[in-house]
Structure 1
Amino acid sequence: MLGLVAGACAGYLIQADRAPTKLPSLSQPVIKQAKGEPEPLSAARDARLRTDGDLRKLLLKKPAGAEDAEWLTGTDGWLDQASYAESYEKPAGAFEHASDEEFRRAAVVGWETGGDSSVEIRLVQYRQEESLAAEESNSNNQYWAGRKSGTRSWALPGTRDGRAYVHSRPETKAGYLPVYDAEAYAWRGDVCLEIYVTGTKPVTKATIMRLAERQLERL
């Protein structure tokens, strides 16, 4: 707080010592008003037109040689609110939280490669009648991802505050191979992007970043 106050005072003193800046003339050229109705944005420029359609078409396609993820929840690429909540450790609380955030719908895709690595990508859309829920959900996801021990993270290029996370400490369970994971989160408009990668070998930064960047290009 003291640093903030000191910085504000310093800024005031600098401004006070400067010579006054000459104001521009009040007389400005008149700009003619365009006639007719404005041309609507194309689907390529209006993200809302894309996300109001079939969200599943915006998801990355399963790579050649990859296998379908039999463990993937949902129906025909869609996750309803109950299915979305079931993916959390405490489904009841997750369902209530999704209701508070005005959950609208979610699309999901997943695949397995080589038998030792899996990918799941979700596009979660919110109604956003009361709040910027997609941004808030993104922030919440990042908070929990950053709390895991042995975690490194990087900003996702082209996003306001998207980030990718790699966890170097695996989850272990007696009788099973250790499981490593990585995550990525970002948001665009009313859609929050969630990416999860797991495997029996450490997930690299390049892997999660490449997936996130490719998916963001489609939003």
Structure 2
Amino acid sequence: MRDAVSAADGRLPRRRGRTALLIATAAVLGLVAGIAVGYGVQAERPPTPLPALAQPGLAYPGKALPEGREPDPLSDKEDRSRRTAGDLRKLLIPRPKGAREVDVPTFDGGSLPVDGWMTAADYATEYVDEGSMFEYFAEEDIRRVAGADWERGQYGQIAVRLVQFRSGAGMGAVDFAESQLDYMPESDEGAGYAGDPIKGSGNGRYFVYPVQNKPGYLPLYEARALGYRGDVMFDIHIFDTRPISKRDIRTLAERQLERL
């Protein structure tokens, strides 16, 4: 499958970059929108509702453990499975303080979530080779994608995606996350370094890219966090024309991991 998806190097297509850099004279031209290009998107259909849990409201641990007894990791895994079997949108991190809803896509040529959901086709448009990406999703049996996009400050944007795969012989979330992490150490396609570990995750990393500067354009800053837990992969992006600290992206990543 990997060779069919990307015969050149055997890897999956990378994410698209930010929409076009803002021209420094944008205010003179009357540009008052954010960084992205506006568009409308219609979801194909909502995901099939899942049956309610036999014990709604069950929390982990279900009752206090005897003093000195450690939690059972298997029970913890089962509890996470219950969470991800429900409404995936509820596991998205809440809107950060000071952020606002948007009506334009974050990625160049990409799509916005509709009521918190994205179809596989819509999600594939956020990648450089959307056709190959959609084929990959179909073959890897993607289940659903939940997402949120916000704007912050004058030009800042935040995009969060939770991608869930159906249970099977494959390692959908693991393979997908690792394929994106493969690009990150590269300076031409990624952040140019191996990233920093996300606390509480054995696989997640967060990155702050070098600033992009072009004559006549505002500077472009970018940060990203990637990881997975169980059958769900999370992907978080921050874009801005002002510097983004490691704390900014690390905080969002840790909060998202805690909800999975």
TM-score (norm 2): 0.64
Distance 2:99 2:199 in 1: 27
Task: Report the equivalent of 2:101.
Answer: 68
Task: Extract unaligned runs of 5+ from structure 2.
Answer: 1-54, 61-75, 106-111
Q: 1:164 to 1:83 in 2, by over 3 A?
A: same
Could you tell me whether the CA contact under 8 Å between 2:198 and 2:250 is conserved in 1?
yes
Q: Does 1:143 align with 2:182?
A: yes
Distance 1:180 1:140 in 2: 23
Q: 1:43 to 1:122 in 2, by over 3 A?
A: farther
Aligned partner of residue 183 in structure 2, secondary structure: helix
CA-to-aligned-CA distance 1:160-200 (integer Å, 9 cap, x gap): 2110011113264x653221111111101000010011111
Aligned partner of residue 201 in structure 1, secondary structure: coil
Q: For residue 151 of structure 1, report the CA deviation from its aligned partner.
A: 3.0
Distance 2:87 2:121 in 1: 20
Match of 2:90 among 57, 70, 81: 57
Task: Report the equivalent of 2:141.
Answer: 102
Match of 1:190 among 221, 231, 240: 231
Task: Report the equivalent of 1:179.
Answer: 220
Could you tell me whether the CA contact under 8 Å between 1:151 and 1:165 is conserved in 2?
no
State the one-letter code of the partner of 1:179: L
Q: For residue 142 of structure 1, report the CA deviation from its aligned partner.
A: 0.6
Alignment map for 1:25-104 (pairs within 5 Å):
42-44=58-60, 45=76, 46-72=79-105, 73-104=112-143
Q: For residue 43 of structure 1, report the CA deviation from its aligned partner.
A: 4.8
Aligned partner of residue 148 in structure 1, secondary structure: coil
Identity of aligned residues (%): 37
Alignment map for 1:120-131 (pairs within 5 Å):
120-131=159-170
Distance 1:134 1:43 in 2: 25
Match of 1:165 among 207, 212, 223: 207
Distance 2:123 2:217 in 1: 26
Q: For residue 90 of structure 1, report the CA deviation from its aligned partner.
A: 1.5
Q: 1:170 to 1:142 in 2, by over 3 A?
A: same
Bigger Rg over Cα: 1
Task: Report the equivalent of 2:253.
Answer: 212
Instruction: Answer 1 or 2: higher relative contact order, Cα 8 Å, separation at least 6.
Output: 2
CA-to-aligned-CA distance 1:135-156 (integer Å, 9 cap, x gap): 1111011111222356341011
Q: For residue 217 of structure 1, report the CA deviation from its aligned partner.
A: 1.1
Distance 2:59 2:177 in 1: 24
CA-to-aligned-CA distance 1:38-94 (integer Å, 9 cap, x gap): x9xx45441111111111111111134321122241311101100010111211111
Distance 1:64 1:164 in 2: 20
Distance 1:171 1:54 in 2: 41
Distance 2:213 2:254 in 1: 26
State the one-letter code of the partner of 2:142: F
State the one-letter code of the partner of 1:125: Q
Q: For residue 118 of structure 1, report the CA deviation from its aligned partner.
A: 1.0
Task: Extract unaligned runs of 5+ from structure 1.
Answer: 1-38
Aligned residue-pair number: 179
Task: Report the equivalent of 1:156.
Answer: 198
CA RMSD after TM alignment: 2.1
